[in-house]
Structure 1
Amino acid sequence: MASSSLPSLVFEVNRKEPELVAPAKPTPHEVKLLSDIDDQDSLRFQIPVIQFYRYDPSLAGKDPVDVIRKALAKTLVFYYPFAGRLREGPSRKLMVDCSGEGVLFIEADADVTLNQFGDALQPPFPCWEELLYDVPGSQGVLNTPLLLIQVTRLKCGGFIFALRLNHTMSDAASLVQFMTAVGEMAQGATEPSILPVWRRELLNARDPPRVTCTHREYEQVPDTKGTIIPLDDMAHRSFFFGPTEVAAIRHLIPPHQHKCSNFEILTACLWRCRTIALQPENDEEVRIICIVNARSKFNPPLPRGYYGNAFAFPVAVTTAGKLSENPLGYALELVRKAKADVTEEYMHSVADLMVTKDRPHFTVVRSYLVSDVTRAGFGDVDFGWGKAVYGGPAKGGVGAIPGVASFYIPFENAKGEDGLVIPVCLPSEAMERFVKELDNVLKNNHVQQPMSSLIVSSL
């Protein structure tokens, strides 16, 4: 395991004034309702992603800023709701006013090369606030641009594409679909290879609504002990898990659990280490929430091109004492069962709960949320300069309640090993304990034959 805290690289970015990029052609002016999965409190925040691209000598003289700006305008003709603004109606129902106003776009130059980032091409990124400028007044959910994009040219000829999305509009798979479309238009396509499909009514509550499943993820738990800590007071570090690290953790589980996926095993390990680091009372309930992409659960499937949110927040609940005192296999079984909860009926039940319970946020008190984006395809997005050197979430801890979430991001380390990089946010003292606990797990298990490859099962 290697970990990184905030890198020391410092550089300057010169930005032009933010502009609005509107669709290249007139688009329908209408109001479109979000689904009852989209507009829950848990998704009412902005989520950042970042893509790094190398210089391509064969494209000398081509300006990535200009290419992407024009491609964005063309793509918004098809994805015109992104150029609108969110409004809130009765019962907190969210809808898009397809006004065609456009998305925020920033052109920038940085006095740094891609190589100067070195091994820092993983969250948290140096000078992050410079690479995606937080335009004043744009941070809200309602009545503000739904996308903010900054393209930053680097001294070496490479560039950085950073984007912030209003999460109520789309999940990771849907965002990659949109970004891929921009990439296709940048390379001369006249329309996206996958045409966008709205159809948000497919994930609306039933009439009458009927909550048929247990949803402990939405229990309202009071924060009596002040466990929710401002993101500013947290340490941000990323941890690499390659074949050797995963093999060491697998060494801790009994043979009958060896068929469990690497995602499940890593999640169980991180949840246990994190809980020990936070030192809750033994009788306090702790939770692990696994983001599960539910697209494959529907019969018939959701239409190809659907670009709304189509995932669930299933949860496992136990006490801190049981989690920390039992072997790792105990946590692993809880994670496995939580993931298995998600079905088509479960998704309809969540939508029904949203309209009957005023669209609640998932429980954040003593909760840890993990999201596997290894299959989302961020790294494959190509604007004409090839695939991204790094593509994916810009940092951990993002959310309507900060500090709760970690992402599992595909990553190749300096040795050329394929694995995952996982950003974690914890209070500084807890972070020190977390690092020690994780080191103990990995170093106290001598594995003769490390796994030759790391394959993370898709959710």
Structure 2
Amino acid sequence: MAQTVTLMASPPQPVPETTITCQDQPEPKLDFKVKVHETTILPPIQQTEIRKCCFLSNLDQNFNFYVSNVHFFSGNPDFPIEEVVRRLKAAVQKVLVPYDFAAGRVRQNHQSSLLEIDCDGTGAGFVVASSEYSLDDIGDDLIYPHPGYKQLAPQKLDNLGLNDPPLNIFQVTSFKCGGFSLGVSTQHLLFDGIGAKMFYENIASQAFEDKPLAVVPCNDRYLLAARSPPRVEFPHPELRLPVAVLPLSESNNIHPVQEEEEELVSKLFKLSSNQINYLREKAKPPPSSTETSTKPPIKITSFNVVAALIWRCKALSTMDVENDNRVCTLLSAVDIRPRLNPPLPPSYCGNAVINAYASSKCIELEDKPFSEIVKIISDGVTRVRDEYIRSTIDWIEINKGVPNGDYFISSWWRLGLEQLVYPWGKPIYSLPVMSHVKYVCFLLPSHDHLNNNNGGVNVVVTLPVKEMDKFQSLFYDSFKN
């Protein structure tokens, strides 16, 4: 079982060393004692007249797995749980009309062997449940996206005996205190993070009963179709050939990131806005350095400096002194909606992300100044422009490739799920359901928004014990001048 430790980091001071203390967090509850009261399938409130199939782009095809997240709400006396359930059911059914593909089922096109969605209007899953706990009983665990939350956001409905799983499953779980959670499991083929947020925005708007859709979705996935003929114009080390191509019947519910069998430890690093500013100052090139006009300028963003810190700590935590030339590649998803020419509609709801990559030998990451590591991250993001994006899509068209990297950063940091407004209020916490895997790092909001401070980030890292000890030491040392 993974252990949980919260690392409390104080703001950096103008002194040689930044103080970081470590505080143990109790073992997270893995059994929320959930009792299921109702399980049903909700069809769209009105069926479309013409049944159709939804084309899935090459960027969609790589995401054949479910993503789960949980939103926690305080109790609202004006909205007892029965009213919350009634409104959410109605909202889901209304939203499934403009999102008709989200009410369908995944199929494999036997001619192309590609996945597509049969918009058959079957509907979404909806579960009503209760927990024996109150939110206070869960306490600080609420900020940590541990696997126990799978009970609050199931990815299948065993008791209905369905041959085809719904592409969306919602679960409302009430707690003894009057608070409740809304868990959502969604087939990643449908949405990327931004598309999912728009979907939730629309559900929140329809729960008011008298509001229009918050966002009118654009589901024209042919906007990201491969060119004919495909043209690969760049090298793509962030992609590789698949080990094997499984038929849909064998791969439908297989997450490409499987949980590890070895003993792992998970830790949550809290970085304040002051500490991120410290890293941004540290990332500035020395005054004597000059960049030629032909090189893209370094973008010292909050994400870039945090990603550089994580990349270096991860690479060096696994560095073998006998293999100093090993290369470590970091992947991070980049929203391509505004980067294409012409840009995609902002309301495009399919998967519109590709992976930026940063590669370097581990020994070089040990010796490079922090500013140079940030520049490698910055260059990787800057590389993602129209020509490169189209080349990526065409490479996948030819090779049916999959991501290729040593470590992936999954950022929920600025997604803004905690800002969604429902009739009963905003979520007090919104977070993904995390699997314990050693090659994925999660960036989450610090939840300082409760104190009007949105600048911080929670970094969730899972590694083997020995690697974590070294990662933690390197992380601390990064705040020393």
- TM-score computed with the length of structure 2 as normaliser: 0.82
Number of corresponding residues:
427
**CA deviation after TM superposition for structure 1 residue 91, in Å:** 4.0
Answering whether residue 444 of structure 2 is matched by residue 405 of structure 1, we say no
Q: 1:144 to 1:6 in 2, by over 3 A?
A: farther
Provide, for residues 207-235 of structure 1, a one-character-per-residue CA deviation record: whole Å limited to 9, x for no partner.
1100112211013599xxxxx98435332
Answering whether residue 260 of structure 2 is matched by residue 231 of structure 1, we say yes
Q: 1:166 to 1:347 in 2, by over 3 A?
A: same
| 2:428 pairs with one of 389, 393, 417 | 389
| 1:147 pairs with one of 129, 151, 168 | 168
Determine the structure 1 residue equivalent to 2:183: 162
Q: Distance in 1 between matches of 2:74 and 2:92?
A: 20
Farther off after superposition, 143-152 or 337-346? 143-152
Answering whether residue 64 of structure 2 is matched by residue 32 of structure 1, we say no
**CA deviation after TM superposition for structure 1 residue 60, in Å:** 4.3
Q: 1:247 to 1:300 in 2, by over 3 A?
A: closer
**CA deviation after TM superposition for structure 1 residue 186, in Å:** 0.6
Determine the structure 1 residue equivalent to 2:403: 362
Determine the structure 2 residue equivalent to 1:200: 221
Q: Distance in 2 between matches of 1:414 and 1:382?
A: 14
Q: Distance in 1 between matches of 2:103 and 2:349?
A: 15
Determine the structure 2 residue equivalent to 1:420: 457
Look up the equivalent residue of 2:430 and give its one-letter code: G
| 2:393 pairs with one of 332, 345, 351 | 351
Determine the structure 2 residue equivalent to 1:376: 415
**CA deviation after TM superposition for structure 1 residue 413, in Å:** 4.8
Determine the structure 2 residue equivalent to 1:448: none
Determine the structure 2 residue equivalent to 1:456: none
Contact 2:56 2:115 in 1 (8 A): yes
Farther off after superposition, 306-315 or 429-438? 429-438
Determine the structure 1 residue equivalent to 2:16: none
Answering whether residue 175 of structure 2 is matched by residue 175 of structure 1, we say no
Answering whether residue 97 of structure 2 is matched by residue 77 of structure 1, we say yes
Q: Distance in 2 between matches of 1:137 and 1:313?
A: 34
Q: Distance in 2 between matches of 1:237 and 1:66?
A: 38
Look up the equivalent residue of 2:457 and give its one-letter code: L
Determine the structure 2 residue equivalent to 1:335: 377
Contact 1:5 1:124 in 2 (8 A): no
Q: CA RMSD in A?
A: 2.7
Look up the equivalent residue of 1:320 and give its one-letter code: C
Contact 2:298 2:374 in 1 (8 A): no
Contact 2:298 2:375 in 1 (8 A): no
- TM-score computed with the length of structure 1 as normaliser: 0.85
State the identity %. 25
Look up the equivalent residue of 1:357 and give its one-letter code: N
SS in 2 for 1:202: helix
Provide, for residues 321-373 of structure 1, a one-character-per-residue CA deviation record: whole Å limited to 9, x for no partner.
11123232232111010000111222211111111002x11114xx1112333
Structure 1: which 5+ runs fail to align? 223-227, 446-459
Structure 2: which 5+ runs fail to align? 1-6, 9-21, 244-256, 287-296
Q: 1:136 to 1:161 in 2, by over 3 A?
A: closer
Determine the structure 2 residue equivalent to 1:457: none
Q: Distance in 2 between matches of 1:22 and 1:409?
A: 33
